[in-house]
Structure 1
């Protein structure tokens, strides 16, 4: 009988012990809100009217730099500041791991590589020529002979599926017909079917590379499912960061004529050293230092990624608070990049902030995350952006037809597209 009573009491004793441990290392302030939904709707609404930063600033004023809430179906801790960014990106990997929301994993697949390591930039050099061909083709099709260009989302069926996927990546993971999440799952399924049928294989090089991975017994080490999910990941990541950055660079250059002229002079000097029709090289891109500073300032003011999530693997302890195992940890890039105590006059577009990398405080500029967990697509984005800007500034001038506001859903997008009036420059 005593043994039976002891067995019955064990769960109760364990629960009491767990609660005492939690109480001795307190949880962050704040409310988890309504089950599953929590504060997700409030944040998403704020992002869609471009007040996401203010939404988090209000939380900081109310609760301080660390607070708890519920986002995208899971209990979450929001942390803010340079020290918080360091904790997320450079902390103990046995305590905190990179993990996306359940909605993103369901849409992209659960076998995608959210982090790559050991990649050499030499691998990307071979793609400069291919990327340049695609840029020239795009300019010829969409810019030449047109007085106005509207950089909008193409409504072609395949690309429409792609856009619907993106819109639901930050959403409450509830499968209801009218929810973004459900629509994104449907779009993801249609896109996976097309890729599996090989009716749309824009990343054949990636597919070939993954197929070629074999072990010492000459057996494939990457499954078909992993190949498919990683193609989906690369398509989303590669599209968003570059397209958003280029869009807002065109916008900021139009609003800042002196900066536009400086970019043009740098790119014209490179163009003068090329024989007619000669492609850009890796070495040419290395010379585009000022242009890349303009890109970094654009990323500071309009980062493609508003924030991101990690997951507590154990019970990490930070800032005097316990983050329970399994909870999400949310960081926001805007919170430090637009902080006037870190960047003077943060609303002013000023590429000279990046003339000396040492002048940028550590863990304050994080559009691609931070070392050692920096986004593997950052170098790809740099190449694509510099190639596009080179041909646009040397061949065209432009002005904004509409100084439009932008929303986040979840990427920043001008509400009516970026409508430009363009003029082809006379080639010397």
Structure 2
């Protein structure tokens, strides 16, 4: 992972043993499953339980959604989904918009160079802290952010609980963070009882107000704290990586950047009709021998819809839910970034009983490994898989990739519950970035490593130019 050769390691095993093979990882008998059918099996088989390293469980708590199964998992997921459903998220678009603008004004504007990954982590942490806990910037948020940096450093470390180890520092930081979150939870509960808060105030209020289908099951304090901590980690870490690698991609891809700028910048009103009519005419003139040209022009036509956003917005007017729904090209670019650099390389399941897949026996207790890159980079599924091509996600026709090939957000009952939140956060941030700045990479060597999340060389330093300063 740290040498960024894991994709080749996986492919070598597939070439040598086929899509199903057995091995030993971390001293545990393991089965590696590859392919769309295998992905469906892994994500939909109830007898395959989620399995995180013991270090993750000790740091995040035993009642978090990653560890639970059956009715308990369904209840916790229902509570999180209640807060992250579209009807709730549309209430928070303005808050996210405000945080993005403030962040860019304070941390990007007027600076000749910036380092993208740490700034993106700060932005997404501020956003998720506001929506989860109602925490605005200040000493409490700064303390929480510092603790979570240490939490992340030790989550996948060797479990040696000695004072000088990353795991020990992470455990202590987690305990401090959990005490702070527990205090916020108790305060929020008191506000709910006094009528000073509602279930839409933030995630903590929503979790405290949640009841199951029978109306009898409520979440305990430990469950609220455990899952608020998981949501805080998941809500800022993966999104920050996605946006960092989008910026990295756009620096080397002027065509995609130009398309995104065109879709997010104001243009004179008559140009919109001209571009759309001209593109329609071109598409009508194309024949079946010009498949690639047609794909390019259809993509250009889709951008015409994105341009309506900028035409209707003033410089100081916040984006709305309806605006985000029109940013289809930007989101396709985000999905293609997730295909090329998935934040989660893969993960494990554990067989709770003897299972059979494709004629192979998977014994009870065996560890099952799935990986996103195995299908993401399969040339038989995604033509020219190393090429950045957002049009892959333009439609869901029969010619598109088969189901369970793209695992940017997982699949099945455990598909990322925060997928819609990630979409909103990414679209808002990228909208303002491409409208306000130009950039180029400082490092000629355009590489990244995984530890275990992908991280670009030196955190991706870029040279920055504010568009308002250009003639």
Normalised by the length of structure 1, the TM-score is: 0.81
Question: How far, CA to CA, are the matches of 1:180 and 1:70 in structure 2?
Answer: 25
Distance 1:164 1:72, change over 3 A: farther
**What is the CA deviation profile of residues 314-348 of structure 1, one whole-angstrom value per residue up to 9, with x for unaligned ones?**
11111222222232211100111011221122111
Say whether 1:188 aligns with 2:209: no
Which ranges of structure 2 fall in alignment gaps of 5 or more residues? 67-72, 123-141, 189-199, 266-306
2:308 is aligned with 1:354: no
Q: Check conservation: 2:117, 2:241, Cα contact below 8 A.
A: no
After superposition, where does 1:8-47 map in structure 2 within 5 Å? 47=1
Using a 3 Å threshold, how does the CA distance of structure 1 residues 185 and 55 change in structure 2: closer, same or farther?
Answer: farther
Q: How does 1:240-251 map to 2 (within 5 A)?
A: 240-251=237-248
Q: Secondary structure at the match of 2:458?
A: coil
Q: Identify the residue that residue 88 of structure 1 maps to in structure 2.
A: 42
- Structure 1 pair 168–318 and aligned structure 2 pair: CA distance change class (3 A): farther
Q: Which residue of structure 1 aligns with residue 155 of structure 2?
A: 169
Q: Which residue of the partner structure matches residue 62 of structure 2? A: 110
Using the alignment, how far apart are the partners of 2:159 and 2:28 within structure 1? 10
Paired position in structure 2 for 1:150 = 115
Task: State the Cα deviation string for residues 347-377 of structure 1 (Å, max 9, x = none).
Answer: 1111122222331221111111123431111
Distance 2:56 2:228 in 1: 14
1:235 maps onto 2:221 in alignment: no
Deviations 1:388-411 (A, max 9, x none): 000011111111111432111111
- Cα 1:314–1:229, aligned 2, differ >3 Å: closer, same or farther? same
Tell me which residue corresponds to 2:203.
206
State the distance in 2 between where 1:135 and 1:57 align.
39
Displacement of 1:157: 5.7
Aligned-pair CA distance for 1:177: 5.5
Greater shift in the superposed pair: 207-216 or 250-259: 207-216
Return closer, same or farther for 1:176/1:345 CA change in 2, 3 Å cut-off: farther
Cα displacement string for residues 203-223 of structure 1 (whole angstroms, at most 9, x for unaligned residues): 971111112235799988111
Q: CA deviation at 1:289?
A: 0.7
More helix by share: 2
- Separation in 1 of the partners of 2:238 and 2:117? 15
> Residue deviations 1:64-123, cap 9 Å, x none?
322233445643222111111111123x32x22334332222221111123624653222
The aligned residue for residue 136 of structure 2 is none
| TM-score normalised over the length of structure 2 | 0.74
- Secondary structure of 1:153 counterpart: helix
CA deviation string 1:43-80 (max 9, x = no partner): xxxx1111111122222233332223344564322211
| Structure-1 residue corresponding to 2:102 | 137
Q: Is the 8 A contact 1:72 1:173 kept in 2?
A: no
Aligned residues: 380
The whole-number CA distance in structure 1 between the counterparts of 2:434 and 2:213 is: 50
Task: Map 1:257-296; keep pairs closer than 5 Å.
Answer: 257-268=254-265, 269=307, 270-296=309-335
CA distance in 2, matches of 1:75, 1:196: 38
